[in-house]
Amino acid sequence: MFSLFQYKKQGKTPVIRQHEFTECGLACLAMVLGHYDHHVSVSQLRREISVSADAGTSMAELLTLASDKNMSGRVLKGEITEIETSELPLIAFWRGNHFVVIVKIDSRSVTVHDPASGVRRYRLKEAEKLFSGYVLELKPTPCFEKKSPDEKLTLGRLANKSPSLFQRQLLLFVLCIFTLITMLASPTYVQLIMDEAISRSDSDLVILLTAIFAIVFIFEVIGKFLKQLLEILMRNIAYDDLSQSVRHYMLRTQTSWFRSRPPGIVLAIEKSLHACAEFISNGYVQILFSSLIAVTSLLFMLLYNVKIALLTMLLMGVFFLIRFSLIGPYQRAVDDSIERTAQYESLLVETQKGIITLKANNMEQARDAVMDKSQREHIAGLMRKERLLARFDVASLLVINAEQLLVVCFGAWLILEGQMSIGMLYAYISYKRYFSDAMVQVAQKLLDKNALKGPLDRVGDLLFAPSETSQFGKRIVTSPVCLQFEDVSFAYPGREATLQHINMTLKQGEEAVIVGQSGSGKTTLLRLISGMLLSSSGTLRINKIPIEECDLSSLRQHIRIVHADDILFTGSILDNIACFDSAPDKEQVIAACRLAEVDHVVARLPHGYETEMLPGNTFFSAGEMQRLVLARALYSQPKLLLCDEVTANLDKTTAQKVLANLRSLGIGLVFVTHSPDVVGCQGRLYTMENGTLRESEQ
């Protein structure tokens, strides 16, 4: 039976989404901390706590982490129906491999905050099937401290990445003011015609007023047209600026950030950026402009009649209450829609990439079922958002139509009482329409702004992630290159050491062959040399300089790594081998292909080096692809070449030719292989076993 913690509920439990595959536990802990007003992001917890990249956290580990935050608690076992006697929120073990936060439970349903999919409400019978029998019950200790949110990406900080945004917004505001002046002058046309010209039977005044206001209307149309053109320009420029800035940072983010996230994360960030750019470009200006229209129109309405103006204000207040009741649900619906759309599009790309594997394993039907489920979730997310807006539109239309009926009815009564003329009522209704439209626009923009919380969190997860260069210095690596491992060890977060006490020296022109079973740490060793990973202890020196002090770009200019599963990108063969250099050296490309024994393969193609490479192309064999990848590494003329199973897909004759060509270059070579007989060894031979490197006799 669950025990009872008596603690006064502090606030609303926030919804915090996980960004990495295995951080659902951290996200749940962040939600419970936020419930008690200690606000912390998942990325902050991730930096404070090492979480296994393959196993995540256990319930016991979450309890330990919570105690570090001055919270006490216990892991309890029981049935979900017994939770009603416990203090919510609770961290619950879900589906046998996931954590969620239970925030509400009654006799019919259970509401959870799911780090993977947001707010979810289940029928009690559904929840009983998903619940795995354990909950973590937490409460603050006397030492617990409240904490305000920090390290949060805001629209203002994101807008700083579009440098000329303010000047364009200022120009847009000037156009808005010009449009406002012409708009406010329009209602007086009908009033003057009806109350002055018609009452006097003055046809000349009708013609004069028509001519004057025709000019006003022309300027109004021109102003609105220029305003729309500028809004289109600003929206696209803002998106371009934000996309460039974020893409630049993303390409310099550590590889671990990509490995620990779902494949659709880049698509989700791109969609989030588009939503943010839409608001940043003209959202604030539109709110200011619409507010100005509303205030000015209200002043004119009050001048015509205070009573009828107060009636309009009262009903528009009801409209705003309806609108702001949507903020929370709409915010979650927008974020969920972006997430589900990105997941579905990611599946489409993944399916195209793996179509041969699907057919070879007769998996078409199973894959279709997976995609069908994802598509239905994607459509359901879109429908949920659209249904919310539809409900609001119906309620809003009801309020606005009721307001129109009451205003016309009350205005007619005032005319009958002699307190208002027909022309004044026409003018008032025009100003009321401006006021109502402006208030609707303000409410919509504020709703859009609040709906950007999820997209901003997603973009912020990337921008607050440490870049590769932040862990390195500025010292330039020069030739010749010399490597020196001094008692180097490495472990992935939350896992046992992959490499232990590595000691090795390699000078330019020397060769080392490392033999070992899969998973023994060979590839990890190469990634340490190329700067993709940093050692947990010990020192790796490049030319006697600790690698952390080296400039990363110059390091990789001298050191190239070739994996067996490296890929080529969309573009010509020439572009791929020249690393998409803006001015490729074709002779050098051909020379690199000769060294990789692939030049004759390219020469047989109808378009030679201009042949376009497309994702999933099949006109190259695995061995030919591997040699093209090797040619790409050789194009930059590295001083040290790291080869991870470089002969895995080559026949013995071709492999021997490629190896002989590499050894003739006089550069440093490190070969990682399962098959030392194929590679041979003209330098030192090492054996890697359980993360330990030892030199072997040849």
Query: Cα dihedral angle (515, 519, 520, 525), rounded to 10 degrees?
Result: 80
Q: What pLDDT score was predicted for residue 2?
A: 42
Please report the pLDDT score of residue 53 as a whole number: 57
pLDDT at 590: 93
Q: Look up residue 507 and give its amino acid.
A: K
**Domain match, 123 and 186 both:** no
Residue 395: per-residue pLDDT: 80
SS (H, E, C) 326-346: CHHHHHHHHHHHHHHHHHHHH
Residue 450 falls inside a structural domain: yes
State whether 502 and 540 are in the same domain.
Answer: yes
| Per-residue confidence (pLDDT) for residue 51, from 0 to 100 | 63
Residue with tokens 């041969």: 356
Query: Which domain covers residue 213, as residue numbers?
Result: 155-463
Residue 245 lies in a domain: yes
Residues of the chain with pLDDT under 70: 1-11, 49-56, 84-85, 149-151, 190-191, 195, 494, 615-618, 678, 698
CB 633 within 8 A of CB 605: no
Same domain, 126 and 235: no
Rounded CA separation 298/305 (Å): 10
Helix (H) or strand (E) holding 630: helix 622-635
Verify that 405 and 499 share a domain, yes or no.
Answer: no
CATH number of 651's domain: 3.40.50.300
Phi-psi region of 515 (alpha: psi -120 to 50; beta: other; left: phi over 0): beta
Report the sign of the C-alpha dihedral through residues 627, 630, 632, 635, in that order. negative
pLDDT at 127: 87
Exposure string (b/e) for 151-183, b if CB count within 10 Å is 16 or more? eebeeeebbebbeebeebbeebbebbebbbebb
pLDDT of residue 67: 86
Same domain, 173 and 77: no
Please tell me the predicted confidence (pLDDT) of residue 101: 92
- 458 and 475 share one domain: no
pTM comes to 0.76
**Residue that is last in its domain, among 82, 106, 140:** 140
Q: CA-CA distances (angstroms) from residue 681 to 363, 519, 643?
A: 43, 22, 13
CATH number at residue 108: 3.90.70.10
3-state secondary structure 426-454: HHHHHHHHHHHHHHHHHHHHHHHHHCCHH
- The Cα diameter of the chain in Å comes to 116
482 plus 341 within the same structural domain: no
Reduced to 3 states, what is the DSSP secondary structure of residue 685? strand
CB 693 within 8 A of CB 500: no
pLDDT at res. 100? 92
Nearest-angstrom CA–CA distance, 501 and 538: 8
Chain centroid to CA 340: how far?
13
Residues 125 and 162 in one domain: no
pLDDT of residue 635: 92
- Hey, is 418 helix, strand or coil? coil
Other Cβ atoms within 10 Å of 138 Cβ, number: 25
Establish if 8 belongs to a structural domain. no
**What integer pLDDT is reported at residue 692 of this predicted model?**
87
Check residue 616 and give its pLDDT: 59
User: What pLDDT is recorded for position 3?
Assistant: 41
Domain count, the chain: 3
CATH number, residue 265:
1.20.1560.10
Beta strands in 583-626 (DSSP E): 612-613
Containing 112, the helix (H) or strand (E) segment is: strand 109-114
Torsion of CA 324, 327, 333, 336, to 10 degrees: 170
Question: Exposed, middle or buried, 61 (CB in 10 Å: 0-12/13-18/19+)?
Answer: middle
Q: Distance between CA atoms of 413 and 399, rounded to whole angstroms?
A: 21
- Among 114, 140, 166, residue at a domain's last position: 140
Long-range contacts of 612-618 (CB under 8 A, 24+ apart): 612/570, 612/571, 612/572, 613/568, 613/569, 613/570, 613/571, 613/572, 613/573, 613/576, 614/570, 615/352, 615/353, 615/570, 616/352, 616/353, 616/355, 616/356, 618/356
Q: Is residue 4 part of a domain?
A: no
Is 533 inside any structural domain? yes
Name the CA radius of gyration of the chain, rounded.
33
Among 426, 444, 463, the domain-final residue is 463
Give the C-alpha distances (Å, rounded to integers) separating 456 from 113, 246, 343, 428, 687: 19, 12, 18, 42, 48
> Do 195 and 85 share a domain, yes or no?
no
Q: List the structure tokens of 698.
A: 């040849």
- Is residue 1 situated within a structural domain? no
Task: Assess whether 162 and 133 both reside in one domain.
Answer: no
502 - beta bridge partners? 488
Tokens of 6: 């008596």
Cα 152 to Cα 34: distance, rounded to the nearest angstrom: 14
Residue 227 inside a domain? The answer is yes
Helix (H) or strand (E) run with residue 44 in it? helix 42-48
State whether 208 and 132 are in the same domain. no
Q: Are 448 and 499 members of one domain?
A: no
